[in-house]
Chains A and B, each alone.
Chain A
Amino acid sequence: MRRPLALAVLAITLIGTVTACGGEEDDTGGTDTVSVGVIPIVDVAPIYLGIEQGFFAERDIEVELTEAQGGAAIVPGVAAEEFDFGFSNMTSLLLAQSSGLPVEVVANGVASTGEAGADFGAVMVAADSPVQTPADLADATIAVNTLNNIGDTTIRESVRAAGGDPADIGFTEVAFPDMPAQLAAGNVDAVWVVEPFKSIVEADGGRPVAWNYVDAAPDLTVAAYFATTEMVQEDADLVARFAAAVAESLQYATDNPDAVRDILATYTDISTDILAAMTLPAWPAEVNRDSVERLAELGETDGIFENPPDVDALLP
């Protein structure tokens, strides 16, 4: 007798939401207020800096950052026009685009440093692990934050590049903050971590065995800021100003790594030791188109897309 009620609630919610779609645009005295969905992680430090430095205000944009629980909530949030812009990793955007969600990249987000040994993300193992090379990961259990996404497709490429067969890797989903403890407890053989968790694992004695972002493509674009196609077409001026402000912010972050570490202390709980020790990602102003095409190829190889993604439609 309990279930029909659940169905009723489901149906009512559904009908309500179908009719209640549609957002609104705020125009107050020439300044556009835009909401941007971000995850409060290292990758988005430039936008926090850009707001602080007034790069957005100069262009008559007031940014309201909304910190989403996880990346998975941002794309639906932008699609539902809850956010005007969002921050998402490139594979998620390719997935969204290939599934028919009309999203487009408007500005670069974050990129790999392109240096094996000094990137902001790596596959790490415990100090006493028998795993020495990426090829040794072929039959390992590896924790990734999200399955069928940028982590596992690039790790498979690392294993392939080292001559291993990635078919038997046991990927399992673990949230980044839980990974150091899971690795220490021996529940997984390896963890794929980005900063600051990479430095936390290193502080526990972990060692990197694969630089998956570096192996996937030279100077891989990892994530970007995006909007709906509708927004890009109908509000081209605002989108252009937002993109210019983000580009300036990325440049500022590149030029001022100390400012990045300072601002990280304001919106994350990263400890001072780790803040000083960690490797910052690269923040080039432009999306590296070749690397996005590479990510699309890797995703297709691993069969994560139902339809082939259209990189040209996604990128500006």
Chain B
Amino acid sequence: MNLLRRALALTALPAILLGAWWIASDGSTSFYFPPLREILAEFGETWTADRWAADVLPSVARLGAGYGASCLLGVGLGLLIGRTTWLMHLAEPVLEFARAVPPPVLVPVIMLFAGIGDTMKTAVIVSGCVWPILLNTIAGVRSADAVQLDTAAAFGLGRTRTLVSVVVPAASPRIVTGMRQALAVGVILMVISEMFAAQSGLGFAIVQFQRSYAIPAMWSGILLLGCLGVALAALFTLFDRAVLHWYHRMRERSA
């Protein structure tokens, strides 16, 4: 019963919106806003196995590589900076500056040193994804309980033991929050990176459809992009539950 209600709650709004879209657009003769009926029919025709192999998979692979690299870089540097007070004071203004630079304006610069291939696209994703993870990791590390840290020191735990057993668990809820934010940024940058010097990819395909006035196909690509976002968010929730089950249980108990 509970499960049924949750399933209903999850699907109700999307169903209503799609229904409203369907009805509102049904008689549409507007070139740029074709009926949803046409878009869905186009969806099947457009996103064939070939297209998945040619455009969707390369995009997802670049997103995976960029996101993975961002996580490693963000958490690694975040732990280092968060645990080193002088480094944190030194780095803070620079970090705030760097995170405020919108990655799309960096693309032409990134193209100069990373070329125009997959490295460039991955680098663009990293250039935006790394900040939420890095800053959240630093904040998470700083928020580690002082009593716990003192206790660890009193028991003579080494630097590594303290990091693994006290700091990382304390920072992990913030790290996961940063990773969740970065995922959304990553999907956006995946599309943006493919608008420059691209030869394949989901974002590339959508722009091509738009330019060749294949508007239903363009909308089908946008829908696919949205679905990809939903799927990634769902996967992330699973990851979140697996890694932070103790934290969620603790919060439920205290609530």
Contacts and interface: CB of A to CB of B under 8 A. Distances in A.
A4 interface: yes
Interface in B86-123: 108, 111-112, 115-116
Interface in B61-82: none
Given A14-B24, A18-B24, A173-B197, A146 B31 contact: no
A96 B215 CA distance: 11
Interface string B194-214: 001111000000001011111
Interface string A256-289: 0000000000000000000000000000000000
Contacts, number: 104
B20 interface: yes
A313 B137 CA distance: 61
Interface range on chain A: under 10, 10 to 19, 20 to 34, or 35 or more?
A: 35 or more
Nearest to B215: A99
Given A146-B211, A178-B108, A178-B111, A15 B197 contact: no
Contacts of B208: 147-148
Interface stretch (B138-146, B154-162, B225-233): B225-233
B213 A6 contact: no
Interface stretch (A124-132, A182-190, A207-215, A240-248): A182-190
B116 A17 contact: no
Secondary structure at chain B's binding surface: helix, strand, loop or mixed?
helix
Contact of A101 (B21, B31, B233): B31
Residue of A4, A149, A174 most packed against chain B (CB within 10 A)? A4
Residue of A7, A76, A188 most packed against chain B (CB within 10 A)? A7
Interface string B234-245: 000000000000
Interface string B17-52: 110110011001011110000000000000000000
Contact of A17 (B33, B198, B213, B222): B33
Interface in A1-40: 1-4, 6-8, 10-11, 14-15, 17-18, 21
A18 B197 contact: no
B233 A187 contact: no
Nearest to B19: A11
A4 B13 contact: yes
Contact of B25 (A18, A76, A146, A306): A18
A96 to B, nearest CB: 5
Given A4-B17, A18-B25, A182-B116, A100 B196 contact: no
Contact of B33 (A18, A100, A172): A18
Interface of A: 1-4, 6-8, 10-11, 14-15, 17-18, 21, 72, 75-76, 79-80, 92, 95-96, 99-101, 143, 146-149, 170-175, 178, 181-182, 185, 187-188, 304, 306
16 contacts: A1-B233, A2-B184, A3-B233, A6-B229, A11-B18, A14-B21, A15-B20, A95-B212, A146-B211, A148-B212, A171-B199, A174-B197, A178-B108, A181-B108, A187-B116, A306-B212
Q: Which 9 A-B pairs have the closest CB atoms?
A: A99-B213, A3-B230, A11-B17, A15-B24, A11-B21, A4-B13, A18-B33, A187-B116, A187-B115
Given A6-B229, A10-B226, A80-B32, 11 more contacts: A3-B233, A4-B17, A17-B32, A72-B211, A95-B211, A99-B212, A100-B213, A146-B211, A182-B111, A182-B112, A185-B115
